Amino acid sequence: MRTKGEFIESLRDKRKVYYRGKLVDVTVHPTLRVAVKHASKLFEYGERISEGRVSKFFTVPRNSRDLLDRHELIYGLTMYCNGVFNISQAIGTDALFALMVATRKLDREVGTDYFKRLSSYFDYVSRNDLTMATAQTDVKGNRSKRPGDQEDPDMYLRVTEVNEKGIRVRGAKAHTTQGAVSNEIIVIPTRAMREGEGEYSIAFAVPADAEGLKMYVRPIDELEGNSSSVLSREDYELETLTVFQDVFVPWDRVFLFKETKYSGIVASLFATFHRFTAVSYRIATSNLFLGASRLMALANGILNEKQVRDEIVDIVMYKEVMKATAIAAAMNPIVDEEVAIPNPTFTNVGKLYSNAHFHDIVRDLIDISGGIISTMPSEEDLSSPEGEVISKYLRGAVDGKERVKLLKIAKELGSSHLTGYLLTLMVHAEGSMEASKIELSRSYNYKDAEDLVRRLTEQEG
Amino acid sequence: MRTKGEFIESLRDKRKVYYRGKLVDVTVHPTLRVAVKHASKLFEYGERISEGRVSKFFTVPRNSRDLLDRHELIYGLTMYCNGVFNISQAIGTDALFALMVATRKLDREVGTDYFKRLSSYFDYVSRNDLTMATAQTDVKGNRSKRPGDQEDPDMYLRVTEVNEKGIRVRGAKAHTTQGAVSNEIIVIPTRAMREGEGEYSIAFAVPADAEGLKMYVRPIDELEGNSSSVLSREDYELETLTVFQDVFVPWDRVFLFKETKYSGIVASLFATFHRFTAVSYRIATSNLFLGASRLMALANGILNEKQVRDEIVDIVMYKEVMKATAIAAAMNPIVDEEVAIPNPTFTNVGKLYSNAHFHDIVRDLIDISGGIISTMPSEEDLSSPEGEVISKYLRGAVDGKERVKLLKIAKELGSSHLTGYLLTLMVHAEGSMEASKIELSRSYNYKDAEDLVRRLTEQEG
Amino acid sequence: MRTKGEFIESLRDKRKVYYRGKLVDVTVHPTLRVAVKHASKLFEYGERISEGRVSKFFTVPRNSRDLLDRHELIYGLTMYCNGVFNISQAIGTDALFALMVATRKLDREVGTDYFKRLSSYFDYVSRNDLTMATAQTDVKGNRSKRPGDQEDPDMYLRVTEVNEKGIRVRGAKAHTTQGAVSNEIIVIPTRAMREGEGEYSIAFAVPADAEGLKMYVRPIDELEGNSSSVLSREDYELETLTVFQDVFVPWDRVFLFKETKYSGIVASLFATFHRFTAVSYRIATSNLFLGASRLMALANGILNEKQVRDEIVDIVMYKEVMKATAIAAAMNPIVDEEVAIPNPTFTNVGKLYSNAHFHDIVRDLIDISGGIISTMPSEEDLSSPEGEVISKYLRGAVDGKERVKLLKIAKELGSSHLTGYLLTLMVHAEGSMEASKIELSRSYNYKDAEDLVRRLTEQEG
Amino acid sequence: MRTKGEFIESLRDKRKVYYRGKLVDVTVHPTLRVAVKHASKLFEYGERISEGRVSKFFTVPRNSRDLLDRHELIYGLTMYCNGVFNISQAIGTDALFALMVATRKLDREVGTDYFKRLSSYFDYVSRNDLTMATAQTDVKGNRSKRPGDQEDPDMYLRVTEVNEKGIRVRGAKAHTTQGAVSNEIIVIPTRAMREGEGEYSIAFAVPADAEGLKMYVRPIDELEGNSSSVLSREDYELETLTVFQDVFVPWDRVFLFKETKYSGIVASLFATFHRFTAVSYRIATSNLFLGASRLMALANGILNEKQVRDEIVDIVMYKEVMKATAIAAAMNPIVDEEVAIPNPTFTNVGKLYSNAHFHDIVRDLIDISGGIISTMPSEEDLSSPEGEVISKYLRGAVDGKERVKLLKIAKELGSSHLTGYLLTLMVHAEGSMEASKIELSRSYNYKDAEDLVRRLTEQEG
C-alpha cells in the first residue's frame, strides 16, 4: 500500500492550482497543505486496508454487507478526520461504480467497449492506490436554458475536437471537492442530456496535472479568517472551479461519449452512490454539533434545562434518521449489473432530511452555547496579557480556560465562516433538495399504497 | 391452528362489555361485531403461521432476522386489514417479551420464580392461539402527584388483598385497545415506581371475562356517525376504559408484585417492543394517506402540480423514515436475556418522527383533495334521486361516480371523526412525544460525539 | 332593525334545501335549525347596530378606523357565537365591497352602469337587514383544464340564455357557507377568466328561493355523530353544494357579464376582503383551542410542565400573529375607488400562517389533553348507571364530573368529526395556501429590498 | 445638532479599547473605524431630526403615533445603514425609557429621587446629542447558580464600595453592542434579583472612557477574513466584553441600587422596548436576504421556478410577520407612568418568530444562490489575470461580472463569517427564545379564551 509520504510526494507534479490570485504548490502552501494533510489521513487510517492489501474503497459492493461495510468505512474515516469528510477515494469510487453499471448496459445496447476501458482504469487506480476527485457540476450559465442554447457554448463541458487518439474538451466544472489535492479527476455528466446534445454527453478521467487543466481554489476563510479556529487547522476540504482549456483525453480514458441517453443514467447512478456516501459522512459531521452542544450545555451549567434537552434530542434525531436511512439503504439494495446500488428511496430520504434540517442543528448549538460565541474576544486577546481577565469572566460551570476551549469550537461550528460554509454545503453538496424531491417522486413505488386505496373504493360499490 | 369461527365463538363468554350505556354481546352488536371481524382477520392471514404450525407472533426474537420478520408480519397483517393495525397477538406478545427479559433478571436478583410462571402462561396462550390485549396506562388522576398521594387511592391499579391463592386488584386502565374483543388481558405497570409503591408494582394476566372486570367501549363515531364511511365498516380498533373492581388473580398468573424497581424496567422494555410494533404498523397506515393523495391528485387533474408533488414527497418521507428506523432497529438489537430487543434509539427516533409529523400528512391529503371533502353532500343524498345531479357536478379528471368513491375515502381519512381519532392516536398511542424524548435523551450513547469534541479541545492546548 | 324572529320567519320560503336525501324546512329540522339559530344570533348581537340604526356590516370601509371596527365586529360576533364564525352579513358584504370597486372601474372603462345596479341592490339588502351567502367556488371538474375545455361544459357556472329581461345560468358552486339559511345568494367568479370565456365571467345575486336553485347540505356529523358534542349543539356552519338549474337573473341583479378582464379583479378583491374577515374570525376560533388547552392542562395537573407551556405559547403565537396581521392590514389599507381595501400583503401573510399552522394547534391541544379524548366512553355511558364508576376514574387535578365536561370539549375540538372538519376548513376556506402564495409573490413590492442590494453591488465597483 | 465630525472627534478620549490583543484608537484603526463610520451615519440621517432640533430618538413615546414613528425611524436608519442596525441612540433610549417608568414607581414606593437624577441625565445626553451603548447581560458564570452562589463573586456586576460620592462597581457585561464607539455606557440589571441580592441590583451610566473600564472587541472576521465582503466594509456592529475594574459612579448617575424588586422590572421593561426596536431593525435586515434572493434568482435564470417562488414567499412572510407585530405593538401600547410601552405580547410574538425562523431565510437564500457561493474563487483571483476566465464561467442569465457582484453579496449573507455571526445574533440578541416564551406565557391575558371554554362547559350541565 501507498504511504502518506508517497501520496504527498505525488502531488508535486505539473498541476496548475491557483490560490488567491497566485499559482501555488499545494504541498508547501501554509494554508493548502492542511488540505493535503487532511487528504493524506486516508493513508494513515488502518481500517481502510482489506485483507487483500487493497483499499476497501475499491471493493465493488455486491450485497448488503458490502454496502454496510462501505457505510462504516466512510463514517470511520470521517471520524478519524475529526468529522470532516475525506473524499480521497470515496467520491471517485462512487463515480466508478456508477460508470460500471452504466457502461455495461451501454456496451450491450450499442456494442461499445467502455466497460473494458473502465475496468483497466479501475485496475490502474486501485493498484496504485490513487486518490480521485470527481468533477460533475457544470457551471451551467443560464439555468433556464439547455446546454446548446447558452449564449456562451462553454457553459457545459463539451467536446471541441475528436481524433484518432482521443477527444479534446472545453468548459468548467464547479465545486470539485479536493480536486487540487487529488491524483486523478474523474469527470461525469451533470444531468440527463437530450437528443442532439451528444457533445455534452461525456465521461472520462484525467490526471490532475493534465495540460490545459486549471484549478481555482476557494478562499479558506475558516482557517485564514478565524484566528481561534481549531478544527479547520486540522481538517478542511477545499473546492475548486476546475477549468478545462481544451484538455486532451486519450480514448482509453473516455468512458462515455455521444450516447445522450446514458448521461442521465450515469448522473443518476452517481447521485445515488454519492448520496449514500453523503449520508454516511454527515452522521460523523453531526457528531461535532452533538458533542459541542452537550459539552457546552455542561460548561454553561444548563444540561438539565428542558429546552436544552429538546435541542439535544433534535440533534440526535438528525444524526439517527440519517443513520437509519443509510442502514436501510444498505439492507435493501438494487442489484444491477452485479453491483449493489444503495436503495434510492432510503438514500434520498436520508439526504433530503439532512439538507432540510441541518440549519436546525446549527440553531440548536447556537441556542445552547450562548451569544458569547459571536461576541467573545479574539484569540490574540486571549493570548495577550489581557487574557487572564478575559478568562476570569468567561468561566461557566467550569473554569474560564476550560470553557474558552469549548467556546472556540462552538464558535467555529456555530458562528463563523465555517458555519456559513457548512450551511451551504449541507444544502447543496451531493445535489439540491429539489433534486432529491424529483428523484423521490419519480422513482417511488406507489403500488402498495394505491392498491390499498383502490381496493377500498371497490368495496364501496 | 384456531379458526376464525372458533375465535369468534370464544368471545361469547361472561365478559362485561358496555357500549353506549348498555351491556352488549360484542359478537352480535351491529357496530362492535366489526371490531370482532377485524380481530378475527388474524386467523385468515396465512402469512402468520410458522412452519411449526404456531402463530409467528409467538416467535421470541433472538436476532435481527427475527425482528425483521416480526416487522414484516405486522406490516403485512396491517395491510391485510386495510391499513388498520390488528393487535390481536401483537401487543400481547410485546408485553410477554418484555416480561421475559425482566422476570429473568428479577428471579436472578430476588430468587423468585416469575419466569417459570410466565413461561407456562406463554405456553398456554401460544398453544391455544389466544388473542390478548395489553392494559398498561393507569387513569392517573392528578398527573403532578405520585400514586400514593392521589386523593382517590385507586387512580393507579393496586393490590387490595393478598392471600394464599393470589391477589385482588382494584383500579382502572385507560385505552385498552381491542380489550373487549380479546381472549386475555395482560396487565403491566404504567411507569417506574418508587420505594413504598409496591402495591402498584404489578403485572399479571386475566381472562377477558374475569369476575369484576368491566370494559366501557368508546363510541365508534367514525362508523356510526359517518354514513359515507368505507374503511371503518371493514376495520377499526375499539378502545376500552377497563375497570378492575377487586378482580382476583391467582398466583400463577401474577408476573410481578412488590418489586418496585422492576416496574420501570417492564414499562420501558414494553415501550421499546411496542414502539417497534407501532412504527411497523404505521408504515401500513400511512399507505392510506399516500394512496388516497395520489389517487385524489389524479382524479382532480393536479398530479403534475409542483406543490402536489412536494406534498406527496412529504408523505413518502413520513412512511420511509419510519421504515428505515424499523429496519435499523431490527439490524441493531440489544440482546438481553437471550431476547433480541429492537434498538431503542432507532425505535424512539421513528416513533417520535411519527408522532410529530402525522398531522403534516393529514394536511397534505386535505390540501390535495380539496375543501369538498368537508362540504360534500351525504351518502343519503348520493343514493337518493338527487344523486345524479350531485355526481354530475362532482366529476374531476374522472367521472363523478368514480371521484365520489375516492372523495369518500379522502373525507374519511382527512375530514371526519376518523381524522380526529387518528390524530390523537398518532400523538398518544404507544407513548407520548415527551416519553420518547425522555427515553432518547436518557439512553443515548453520546460517547463518539463527546470524545470527538474533547479530542479537538485538547488539540488546542 | 330586523328581529331574530323575523329573520327565522323569512327562511320559510320556497327554497329547495336537501338534507340526507330529503327536501327539508330548515327552520324546523332538528339538526339544521341549529344552523338557523346560529345565523340568527346576528340579530341578538347588540354591537352590530350602528348609530344610524343600520347593521355595521354594511359600513363601507373608507379608512383604517373603519377596517379596525370591522375586524373587531367580526371577532366580537364570532366570540358571541362561541368561536364559530357567523357569516350572515360578513361574507356577503365582502363580496359587495369587492364589486363596488370593480364595477366603478368597469363602468368607467366600458361605459356600463353596473355600479348603479349594485348600489340599488346594496341599498335593498342593507335597508331590509338581509343576510347573504356568497357562492364563489365553481365545482371545476378537471383542474388542469380551462372552463371551456371541460368534458361537461357546466363545470363552471355559465350563462345559457340571454334575453331582454336578464340571463339564465347553469352550473354549480361548491361549499356555499350558510347558503341554506341565508336570504340572498351573491354569486361571483371563481378566478380570472381569459378572452373567450365571457359566458363564465358573471357576478349576480339571487334570492335563496329562486326557481331552479337547489342546495345540498353536507351531513352535520359533528352534531349527529357525536353524542357528547357541546359546541356543535349551539353553533355550527353548514355548507351546500349549490346547483343552478337554468336559474333566471333579471338585469338589475347582474353585476358582471362578459367582461373577462374583470373576473379576476372581482375574484382577487373579494379574496382580500374575505381573507381579512377570515383572519379576524379565526382569532376567535383559536380561543377555543387556547382556552381548552389551558383548562385541560389545569385539570390534568400539568400546567407547569415546560412542554405544556411551549404548546400554549405556540397557540398564543398562532392567535397573535393573525391578530397582528389583521391590525397591520387595517392600518395600511389600499384606498381604491373610495373604498379602503385591507392591505393584501398583511392579509395574505396572516391567512397563510393560519392555513399552515392550524394543525399545529390541534396537535398542541391533543398532546395536552391526553389520549383519553379519543378513548373515553360515550355520553350514553356517562349518563347511564355506570356513569358514576366512569367519572370516578376520569378525575384529574379536579373531580371526575368537572374534568369530563372539559374532556368533552377537548374531544370535540381535537378528536372528533369537528376536528377533521376544522382542519379542512382551515386549509381550504377563503382560498388555498397555494392561492395565498401566488398572491403574495405576485403583488409584493420588492423595491426596498432590491434597491438595497443593488446599491450594495454598485458600491463594489 | 451635532455633526458627524464632532461625533468622531468625541471618540478620541481616554477609552480603553482592545482589539486583537492591542490597545487601539478606534477612530484610526483600519477595521474599527468602519464601526465608527457606521455609528456616525446617525448624524447624516436627516430624518432623525425633529422640528424642535432634537434627535427623534429622544422623543419619549406617549401614544401609538410616537411608537409608530420610532418604529419607522429605526427601520429608516437601518435601511440607510444598508440593513445593519445603528444602535447609536436606539438601545440607549430603550434603556432610558425603561428606567423612566421604573424609577417613577420606585420613587413613589420608596421615596427616592431616582427619576429626577434620570431626568437630568436624559436632558444631558439629549441636549448634547450623545450616543449610548447599553450594557445589560452579565457574564453569569454557572447558569444554574444565583449571583451570590457563584464560585467567583464577580460573575454578576456588583457594588464593591459605597461612599458619599457614589459607588464603585466590579464585574463584566458581555456583548455590549457598539460600546467601543459610543459616548456613554448605560448599565442595567440582567435579570430579576431576589432578596439579599441588593449589591447586584444596580443601574447607572458612565462615560465610555471612565477609569477602570476596559472594552475587548470581538474579531471582525466578516471584514478581515473575507476579502470579497462588500456590506461589512460599509457597515457592521462591534461587540465588546466590557469589564468594570472597580469603576466609580457618582450618585447623580446611579439610577437603581439595592431595590431588588426593581431589577426585574427594569430588565423586563427594557426587554420590551428593546425587542420592539429589534423587530423594527430586523425588518430592514431581512431586506438584504429578500433582495439578494430575488436578484440571485434573476441572475441564475430561475425566478419562475416554483420552489424559488416558495422560498421568496417564505422570506416575505418572515419580514411581514415582524412588521405586522411591530405595527400591532405600536397600536396597542400599555401606557404606564405616561410612557407608551409597546404591547409586550405582539412584541414578543414578533421577536420569537424572528428568532425561530431567521435560519430558514438563510437557507432560502442559499438554496436559490447555489453552492457556488461557498466554492467560488477569492477576490484576489477575480482581480488577478485569471479573473477573466473565472468570470467567463460564472455567468448566468446575466454576464459573469454582473453575477459575481451579486454572488459576493449572497456569499457574504449566506456563506461566510457574517452568516454565522447573524445566525447567532438573530437567536440571541435582545433575549433568547426561552426568554420570549417565558414572557409570553407569563404575561398573556388568557381571559377571553378561558371564559369562552368555561361558558361552554356550563352549557353542558
Q: C-alpha grid cell for residue C71?
A: 375586524
Q: Is the dihedral of CA B334, B340, B344, B347 positive or negative?
A: positive
B405 interaction partners in chain A (CB closer than 8 Å): 457, 460-461
A219 interaction partners in chain D (CB closer than 8 Å): 226-228, 377-380
Q: How far is B226 from chain D (nearest CA, A)?
A: 24
Q: Which fold has domain D264-451?
A: Butyryl-CoA Dehydrogenase, subunit A; domain 3 (1.20.140)
Please report, rounded to a whole number, the percentage of residues in chain A having pLDDT higher than 90.
Answer: 96
Q: How far apart are CA C371 and CA B425, in angstroms?
A: 7
What does chain A come to in residues? 461
Helix (H) or strand (E) holding B86: none
Between A432 and D165, the higher pLDDT residue: D165
Residue B407 contacts by C-beta under 8 Å, 6 or more apart in sequence? Answer: B296, B369, B372, B373, B376, B394
Model confidence at A432, pLDDT cuts 50, 70, 90, reads confident
CB contact under 8 A, D381 and A227: no
D21 interaction partners in chain A (CB closer than 8 Å): 378, 380-381, 383-384, 386
Q: Does A22 touch chain D (CB under 8 A)?
A: yes
C241 interaction partners in chain B (CB closer than 8 Å): 375-377, 390, 393-394
CA B360, distance to chain mean position in Å, is 20
ipTM score over 0.90, yes or no:
yes
Indicate the DSSP class of residue A20.
T
Model confidence at D1, pLDDT cuts 50, 70, 90, reads confident
CB contact under 8 A, C421 and B374: yes
CB contact under 8 A, D353 and C321: yes
Q: How many CB pairs under 8 A join C and D?
A: 177
A295 interaction partners in chain B (CB closer than 8 Å): 450, 453-454, 457
Neighbour-count burial of A448, counting CB atoms closer than 10 A to its CB (0-12 exposed, 13-18 middle, 19+ buried): middle
CA B176, distance to chain mean position in Å, is 9
For D20, other C-beta atoms within 10 Å of its C-beta total: 19
Q: How far apart are CA C329 and CA D62, in angstroms?
A: 23
C239 interaction partners in chain B (CB closer than 8 Å): 374-375
Nearest Cα neighbor of C168 from C154, C182, C151 is: C154
A370 interaction partners in chain D (CB closer than 8 Å): 428
Chain C interface, best mutation among A306, A308, A313, by max C CB count within 10 A: A306
C21 interaction partners in chain B (CB closer than 8 Å): 378, 380-381, 383-384, 386
Residue D231 contacts by C-beta under 8 Å, 6 or more apart in sequence? Answer: C456, D82, D83, D84, D288, D409, D412, D413, D418
CATH architecture, range A264-450 = Up-down Bundle (1.20)
CB contact under 8 A, A301 and D373: no
| In the predicted structure, residue D461 carries a pLDDT above the cut 70 | no
The DSSP annotation for A205-258 comes to EEETT-TTEEEEEPP-HHHHT-TT-SHHHH----EEEEEEEEEEEEGGGEEEES
Q: C-alpha grid cell for residue B355?
A: 408522532
Q: Is the dihedral of CA B221, B223, B229, B234 positive or negative?
A: positive
Dump pLDDT digits (tens) for A147-193. 999 999 999 999 999 999 999 999 999 999 999 999 999 999 999 99
Block means of pLDDT (10 residues each) for chain B, 461 residues, are: 95 98 98 98 95 94 98 98 97 98 97 97 98 98 96 97 98 97 98 95 98 98 97 97 98 97 97 97 98 97 95 97 98 98 97 95 97 98 97 97 97 98 93 90 94 89 44
Where does B7-70+80-263 sit in CATH, by number?
Answer: 2.40.110.10
Dump pLDDT digits (tens) for A208-229. 999 999 999 999 999 999 999 9
CB contact under 8 A, C302 and B20: no
Neighbour-count burial of C458, counting CB atoms closer than 10 A to its CB (0-12 exposed, 13-18 middle, 19+ buried): exposed
For C446, other C-beta atoms within 10 Å of its C-beta total: 16
C441 interaction partners in chain D (CB closer than 8 Å): 309, 312-313, 316
**pLDDT value at residue C461:** 44
Chain C interface, best mutation among B226, B227, B393, B438, by max C CB count within 10 A: B393
CB contact under 8 A, C371 and B175: yes
**pLDDT value at residue B461:** 44
Q: C-alpha grid cell for residue D448?
A: 377571553
CATH architecture, range D4-260 = Beta Barrel (2.40)
Q: Quick one: average pLDDT of A351-365?
A: 96
| In the predicted structure, residue A422 carries a pLDDT above the cut 90 | yes
Q: Does C282 touch chain D (CB under 8 A)?
A: no
B460 interaction partners in chain A (CB closer than 8 Å): 230, 405, 408
| In the predicted structure, residue A52 carries a pLDDT above the cut 90 | no
Q: Domain boundaries in chain A? A: 4-259, 264-450
| In the predicted structure, residue D250 carries a pLDDT above the cut 80 | yes
Q: How far is B305 from chain D (nearest CA, A)?
A: 10
Dump pLDDT digits (tens) for D58-69. 999 999 999 999
Nearest Cα neighbor of C307 from B362, A305, A369 is: A305
- Which residues 303-322 on chain C approach chain A with CB closer than 8 angstroms? 306-307, 310
| In the predicted structure, residue D181 carries a pLDDT above the cut 70 | yes
Q: How far apart are CA C341 and CA C333, in angstroms?
A: 5
Domain spanning C264-448: CATH 1.20.140.10:
yes
CATH architecture, range A4-259 = Beta Barrel (2.40)
Q: Does C441 touch chain A (CB under 8 A)?
A: no
In the chain, the amino acid numbered D186 is I
CB contact under 8 A, C367 and B225: no
- Which residues 322-381 on chain B approach chain D with CB closer than 8 angstroms? none
- Rounded to 10°, the helix A417-428/A344-369 angle is 160
Q: C-alpha grid cell for residue B43?
A: 386467523
How many H-runs (helices) and E-runs (strands) does chain A carry?
17, 12
DSSP strand pairing (B184-187 vs B132-135)? parallel
Q: Does C449 touch chain D (CB under 8 A)?
A: yes
For D356, other C-beta atoms within 10 Å of its C-beta total: 15
Phi, psi for B326 (deg, rounded to 5)? -65, -45
A144 interaction partners in chain D (CB closer than 8 Å): 301-302, 304, 397
Q: Quick one: average pLDDT of D253-272?
A: 97
- Rounded to 10°, the helix D260-300/D64-80 angle is 50
Q: Does C104 touch chain D (CB under 8 A)?
A: no
In the chain, the amino acid numbered C145 is K
CB contact under 8 A, C317 and D440: yes
Q: Does D225 touch chain A (CB under 8 A)?
A: yes
Instruction: Decide: A157 and A203 in contact? Cβ < 8 Å.
Output: no
Chain A interface, best mutation among B71, B75, B320, B443, by max A CB count within 10 A: B320
Classified as helix, coil or strand, D386 is coil
Give C37's Cβ-side CA count (13 Å radius). Answer: 15
CB contact under 8 A, C320 and D450: no
Indicate the DSSP class of residue A49.
B
DSSP strands (E only) in D20-143? 22-24, 132-135
Chain D interface, best mutation among A221, A243, A401, A441, by max D CB count within 10 A: A221
Q: How far is C273 from chain B (nearest CA, A)?
A: 20
Q: How far apart are CA B13 and CA B335, in angstroms?
A: 39
Q: C-alpha grid cell for residue C99?
A: 364589486
What does chain C come to in residues? 461
Instruction: Decide: C101 and C336 in contact? Cβ < 8 Å.
Output: yes
Neighbour-count burial of C421, counting CB atoms closer than 10 A to its CB (0-12 exposed, 13-18 middle, 19+ buried): buried
Indicate the DSSP class of residue C205.
E
Q: How far is A144 from chain D (nearest CA, A)?
A: 5
Instruction: Decide: B262 and B201 in contact? Cβ < 8 Å.
Output: yes
Q: C-alpha grid cell for residue B415?
A: 375530514
Classified as helix, coil or strand, A353 is helix
**pLDDT value at residue A430:** 86
* Homologous superfamily of domain range B265-446: Butyryl-CoA Dehydrogenase, subunit A, domain 3 (1.20.140.10)
Q: How far apart are CA C239 and CA B381, in angstroms?
A: 14
- CA nearest to A308 within chain C: C306
Tell me how far apart the terminal alpha carbons of chain C are, to the nearest angstrom: 70
Q: Quick one: average pLDDT of D162-168?
A: 98
C395 interaction partners in chain B (CB closer than 8 Å): 139, 141-142, 151-152, 155
Q: How far is D292 from chain C (nearest CA, A)?
A: 6
Classified as helix, coil or strand, C190 is coil
CB contact under 8 A, B327 and A323: no
Domain C4-261 is in which class? mainly beta
Q: Does A88 touch chain D (CB under 8 A)?
A: no
Whether this prediction's pTM lies above 0.90 is answered by yes
- Which residues 121-180 on chain C approach chain D with CB closer than 8 angstroms? none
Q: How far apart are CA A451 and CA B291, in angstroms?
A: 7
Q: C-alpha grid cell for residue A321?
A: 434518521
B321 interaction partners in chain A (CB closer than 8 Å): 321, 324-325, 349, 353
**pLDDT value at residue B430:** 86
- CA nearest to D344 within chain C: C320
Chains with 3+ CB–CB pairs under 8 A to B are A, C, D
* Torsion angle of the four alpha carbons B57, B58, B63, B65, in this order, in degrees rounded to the nearest 10: -40
Block means of pLDDT (10 residues each) for chain C, 461 residues, are: 95 98 98 98 95 94 98 98 97 98 97 97 98 98 96 97 98 97 98 95 98 98 97 98 98 97 97 97 98 97 95 97 98 98 97 95 97 98 97 97 97 98 94 90 94 88 44
